[in-house]
Every structure is written in structure tokens, then in C-alpha cells.
Structure 1
Amino acid sequence: MKTLLYGVGVLTFLLAAGYVSAGERPISDCGERIENDGYPMEEHTVTTDDSYILTMHRIPYSKKTGPTGDRPVVFLMHGMLSSSSDWVLMGPGKALAYILSDAGYDVWMGNARGNTYSKKHKYWPTYWQIFWNFSWHEIGIYDVPNMIDYILKYTKKSQLQYVGHSQGTTVYLVMMSERPEYNNKIKSAHLLGPAAYMGNMKSPLTRAFAPILGQPNAMVELCGSMEFMPSNQFKQDMGIATCQATSPYAEMCANEIFLIGGYDSEQLDRDLLEHIKATSPAGASVNQNLHFCQEHNSKKFRKFDYSVIRNPYEYGTMYPPNYKIKNALAPVMLYYGANDWMCDLKDVLQLRDELPNVHLDYLVEFPKWAHLDFIWGTEAKKYVYDKVLEMMIDYE
């Protein structure tokens, strides 16, 4: 109750002091934002093999071209604590989803279990801990394959192009490791800020908590996981208020982003901060975060470590098995930055050397390029998206 009253007090002070505006609220819903930007939008629901109910957002065609008939399909998968909103947040001409739509693609955006748009299950409510008993392993073996199957069946296509950012790259590699038959459904995969090996990450937040949270963890699974950084209306309102460009706390909001992905003040539009806060964090499970912490500690790309007590039951071995990167046979394009605190150059190069079919090894030509610049960088089109589109066209 004290926290609530304090938050209301801060919000009231900021409004009264004139630091923030009580005017039009940034759009928090992805579908509403797409329609507000003048593009057609569809919502599609997918039920996974383990009964999670996911929402996808689709831009079937561009407002610039109209319904031009047969269009190649591209699937965009977000990172941890993100959602489909991140692919449209920067608006027409800048956001990747709109750029691909304008270029003639049928654009589909996925949402992983547990985020804002995928908080349903056929049997379990979200206040049951069992709902949250998953990491990004389950997103890779269930969510992504089931969404791809739905898209291909709906569009009557046999293949699509894949674009993932951060965890969206992790789950792609998990899918290919565990379900290699999906290689046949991918024309090409574009991995932005590829997150597999994490041993050299520089993110101070992760490095601070990984020694504790990244230990083999049987109890969290036995007792039940929970939601990590959930979002609600009050938190969104507080974030929007404190992160407006006119707010004295705007720079604090920017530093929060920099602490995660790396400092790159030149690529962050301060006017975008309140829109970011309207949609992020979008929620995830605690186990997703723990799994990444384990990756940092072990310096391996492997399955969730339950402990030597439970691992033999889960895997038949004392330690979790490594993912089979060699199974990722579809053409892969790697895009990474020199200033990425989550995906260090050494870790990306280790992944590159183990992947069997890398068709592009692209270090972004901007020295300060950081992890979140791939989705929110003001010059993402110039430094990354134009290259993605160029490579995608080559595989049509």
C-alpha cells in the first residue's frame, strides 16, 4: 500500500510541476498502434502442443501498396521481456515490420508465452505457478514451431523468412537443435544480436545476479516458477510519466536501457522512451531469466540445469546436454554490434564458428552499436534493416 501511495504521489507531483503532460497517452496495444499508423492489422490465435494460447499480429499488406496478391511471408520473433510491439514502435519508415511490409512482405509477429499478448492456457490461470514453469527452451520447442506451422498453413506457403532479436535468436537455435525438421520451413534466418553463448556478456545487471541466480535450480521448478517483471496499467502509467522527454527522470530511463544493452546515446530517441515504457517490459517467466544466468555461468549453450539431483530424471545425465547447433542447416545471417553488452563479440564468433551454414557475418558498421539498438536505434534502418531486406530478397 505504501508503494502504491508513493507512486501516486510521484505521478501527481510530476503532473502538478508541469514536468509531464496529462494529455494523449502513448498507445500500448500493438494492434491498435498498427491501425493508428494506417496499416491493416489482423490478430491470430495459436494453441501450442502443450496448451498455451498465443496471439500473433499480422500486417498482411502495406498501406502504400494495397492488397497486391501473393506476398512472401516473414516471421518476426521478439526478445525477452518484449513483444510484437517492438517491431512497430518506431513507426512507419523506421520500424522493421513496416519496412518489410512496404517492401512487399506479408509480416507476422509472434508473442511468446507469458508476455502481454500470450497470457492464456487451456487449463491453467496465470495465478497458478504451474503456468510459469517454462524457460525459453519451451518457447523454442513449442511456441515458435507452432506459430510457424500456423502461418504456413494459413498462407498456403511451404517456407518463410525468420527474423529474431536477442531471445528471438535463442529460441530459433533451440528449435533447430531439437526439431531439425523445421530447417525445411525456413528460407533464411536473420539473427539480430544473437544470444546463444553468454559467457563473456558485459551487462552489469546480469553479471551481478548470475553467480547466485545462475546456479543449478531444482527448487524453483519443484515449487513452481512465477512471472518475471509483470506489466500492468499502473506501472505503464508511471513509466510513461517518468520517461517523457520533458521529465527530469528521462535520463534515468535512458540509463536503465543502457545498463542492459550497452551505452549508445546517439541511437536513442528520448521522445521514444515513453512509448517504450507503454509496452515494456511485457513480462516473462523467472525461469527464462535464470536460464540466461546459467548460460553466463557455464559458458555453454545448453538446456536448463535443474541440479545433479533432478537432471538424471530430466535428461538421463548429471548435467544438462548442450544444444545441437550443428542441426541449424537453413541459411543463417548474423548481425551483431561491437558495443553489445548482452551478446559479446567473442560469444557471437564462437556461435558463428559452430553454425554449419552461415551466409552473412555482419558486424554493424557503427562502433557504439548496442543490443537494444536493433529494435529502437534511430538509425537501425541505415545500419541493419536495409541489410536484412537486401539479404532476404536474395533468398526469395
Structure 2
Amino acid sequence: MALHSFSYYSQLPFIIIIFFFFHGEGGFSPSPEEVGICEAVVRPYGYKCQEFEVTTEDGYILGMQRIPVGRNGVIGGARQPVLLQHGVLMDGMTWLLNSPEQSLAFVLADNGFDVWIGNIRGTRSSNRHVSLTPSDRAYWAWSWDELVENDFPAMVDLVAKQTKQKLHYVGHSLGTLIALASFSEGRLVDKLRSAALLCPIAYLDHMKTKLGILAARLFVGEILSNLLGLAEFNPKGLEASKYLKILCSYPDVNCYDLLTAFTAFRDGALTKYNYGVNNIQRYGQSTPPVYNLSNIPNSLPLYLSYGGRDSLSDTEDVEHLLQDLKLHETDQLVLHYVQNFAHADFIMGVSAKQVVYDSMMAFFRQI
């Protein structure tokens, strides 16, 4: 293992990564569930931090964190807001797992940015609803389409209203899928200065790991509902453990693969949720509509960074995405390829600042 290139997290079994995520390591006490992310992991490092809440149109109460200035106070000039959006089975802690010198949220704050951290519904900072609780089946009756339609707009709107500025966006994995789908429908583009997509996910045709393929297919809502008896996937519940055990029981599946793919694997196309016989009622057509990524505005500044060792955001699938972006204005599309980075290295790699973040911040400053 090349320690100078990879975080040790990216070499751990997936189950252990999830254990660290939910329970923390020695330095993460008290837990964010008890006191919030700001108090648990941001303020102890000497940073100012604010907790916010925003309610989606369908009633989910999302928690967000803001690091308004760096550890050494305000750096001269206006501070551009940046919204960070985590991937699946994670939450805003994604951006705070390493030291302040290595974690993106801290790095951005120390380099003059106004940092906002998003948490999608169902995560520990966003587990409330105006009328439902996580123990209610109806609470989990959503797919990632609702993240596109409700969670993403709610978080972007909050940042825009609080800062009175357009914002930069950084998504990892599922955070890129949400953004790409949103941009393809023209949503929120007018409120963003740019979008940085780390390990962009749009197509999963070339995913190499059997565990990832099975996980992605099983995460399709109608299959998962039958398998677990849930309308959606609760990553913190007992059913999640059952789900992982089912995956690991398949022949030739190695549960020590890097990261599994709990995103939408929908027959080689990026489509909305398939309601089967109810598609006509929902969409006015028998098949779910496709998110046409070629409709992403060509003038939207995009920064795409992906790795040669990523088993989920495979390079061939990224090339497929780039075909959709082939008419994008050349001076508004920056591609950043890191040969020896895997999926988790973009957020947990100890060298990610030098390899990825510095380049990304330079991109932001040019916009």
C-alpha cells in the first residue's frame, strides 16, 4: 500500500469503513448524533461552525453545517460560498474525517471559502420530518429522484439566501449523480458559479466488482422493496445489515472490495424511478423518463476529477459521460485524471489536497 497516495480508509473492508462512519474513532467523541457535527468535530479544531436546518417541499428536515471562516480568521476579500455534498451511505462527516490539513471542508475554509456541508434525508443530521419518523415505513418512501427534486434545491436555496451569492458546488459519488440529473433538467444552474464533480457517477456499465454490480442492481427501489420489505434503503437500520449479508452470500463476491455502489443501475441509462404499471399515472408514459445529460447547459463551469483505480466511477463510464458533454464549451470544462486514486481517495486520501483540492480551488478562483 502506497501510504503517500492513499488514505488507509480506502484500503479497509467496507463494513469497517461504515463502522468508523457511524461510531467514530477515538478522537470523535461525543458523537455527532448527540451534539451535532459542529460541536463534535469542527469546533474542537478551533474553527467557527454554525448548524442550520432547512425543510424540503415534501417535509424532510435537513441539517446543514457552515464553516464561515478559516481557523485563523477572515482572509481578506469576499468569501465565495461552497456547498459540499456527500455520497451514499455517508453524511457531512465525509468532508471532516482527516486532519484539518487534509479534509476538504477545513482546507476550503482555510483558503478563503465560506464552506457549507449538506446532509441528505435519512442521515444522522437529517433524520427528521414534519410528520413522520424514521421508524415509519412512509419515511423511507423515496428514491434518489427525490434528492434531485427536493433535497438538492432546498440546500442550494438556503446557501444562496444566506450568502446572497451564487455558490460553487462539490459533489462526490452520489453527490455528482444528484447534480448531473438536476443540471440536465435546468435546475439550479442560475444559482451556481460552478460545479466540481469528484468520481462522477452517471453510468455504471463498466463497474468491475461483482459486489458493486449486485449492490447497484439491488438498490433499484422495486427490487429492494421486495427483498427487504422497505420502500427505501435505511443505511442505519437493521435491514441494511441484512442487505449486506445477502450481498456477501453471493458466489465469488468479495466483501472486502473497496466501496460498493448503492446508486441507480438502470439498464445502462440514467432514468427516473421505475414505478412499473404506475408509470403512466406518474409520468404520463409507460417507461420512466431519461435524464438527458446532453441537456446540461454548455456554459456551466464544470470540474470533473476521476481516478484510474476507481471500481465504481470507472474510467470507461466517465468517458460515456464525457460524450454527453462533448458540446460543452471547452473553456468551461476541466478534466482532472488521477491514475492511482480509487473512489474513497478523493475524500479520504492523505494526499488529496495536493493531488486534487489545490487544482479544484484554482478552478474556483478562475470562475
Partner of 2:251: none
Residue identity opposite 1:387 in structure 2: S
Pick one of 279, 298, 313 that aligns with 2:281.
313
Give 1:198 deviation, angstroms: 1.0
* Cα 1:137/1:258, change in 2 over 3 Å: same
The code of the aligned residue for 1:165 comes to H
State the shift of 1:50 in Å.
1.1
Q: Given the alignment of the two structures, is residue 104 of structure 1 paired with residue 104 of structure 2, yes or no?
A: no
Partner of 1:260: helix, strand, or coil?
A: coil
Secondary structure (helix, strand or coil) at the match of 2:154 reads: helix
The residue that corresponds to 2:69 in the other structure is 61
Give ranges in structure 1 of 5+ residues lacking alignment.
1-22, 236-254, 262-287
Q: Which residue of 1 aligns with 2:352?
A: 380
Amino acid paired to 2:104 = L
Q: 2:45: which partner in 1?
A: 37
Distance 1:213-1:170 versus aligned 2 partners, 3 A rule:
closer
Aligned-partner SS, 1:310 = helix
Aligned to 2:19: none
| 1:364-390 superposed Cα distances (whole Å, 9 cap, x missing partner) | 1xx331011111111111211111111
The alpha-carbon deviation at position 256 of structure 1 amounts to 6.0
Amino acid at match of 2:174: Q
Of all paired residues, the percent bearing the same amino acid is 34
Counterpart AA for 2:137: Q
**1:164 Cα offset (Å):** 0.3
User: Are 1:130 and 1:224, in contact at CA under 8 Å, matched by a contact in 2?
Assistant: no
Counterparts of 1:351-370 in structure 2, within 5 Å, are: 351-355=321-325, 356-357=327-328, 359-364=333-338, 367-370=339-342
* TM-score in terms of structure 1 length: 0.74
User: 1:371 maps to which residue?
Assistant: 343
Report deviation, 1:114: 0.6
Preserved contact between residue 91 and residue 123 of structure 2 (Cα < 8 Å): yes
Aligned partner of 1:272 in structure 2 is none
1:33-66 CA-partner distances (Å, limit 9, x unpaired)? 0001110000000001111100001000011233
Higher mean C-alpha deviation, range 61-70 or range 124-133: 61-70
Q: Distance in 2 between matches of 1:162 and 1:56?
A: 14
Q: Secondary structure at the match of 1:44?
A: strand
Change (3 A) 1:339 1:90: same
Paired with 2:278 and 2:341, the residues of 1 have a C-alpha distance of: 41
CA RMSD of aligned residues (A): 2.6
1:72 correspondence with 2:80: yes
Q: 2:198 aligns with which of 192, 200, 213?
A: 192
The amino acid of 1:99's aligned partner reads V
Determine the C-alpha separation between the residues in 2 that align with 1:345 and 1:351.
10
Stretches of structure 2 lacking an aligned partner (at least 5 in a row): 1-24, 242-253
Are 1:183 and 2:151 an aligned pair? no
- Closer, same or farther: CA 218–320 of 1 in aligned 2, 3 Å: farther
Provide, for residues 114-140 of structure 1, a one-character-per-residue CA deviation record: whole Å limited to 9, x for no partner.
111100110111111111011111111
Judge conservation of contact 2:209–2:257 (CA < 8 Å) in 1: no
d(CA) in 1 for partners of 2:302 and 2:142? 27
How far apart, in 1, do the equivalents of 2:257 and 2:43 lie? 30
Quote the Cα distance in structure 2 between the aligned partners of 1:212 and 1:55: 28
Contact 1:338 1:345 in 2 (8 A): yes
Q: Normalising by the residue count of structure 2, what TM-score does the alignment of the two structures yield? A: 0.79
The 10-residue stretch of structure 1 (327-336 or 54-63) with the greater mean CA deviation from structure 2: 327-336
Preserved CA contact (<8 Å) 1:218 1:310: no
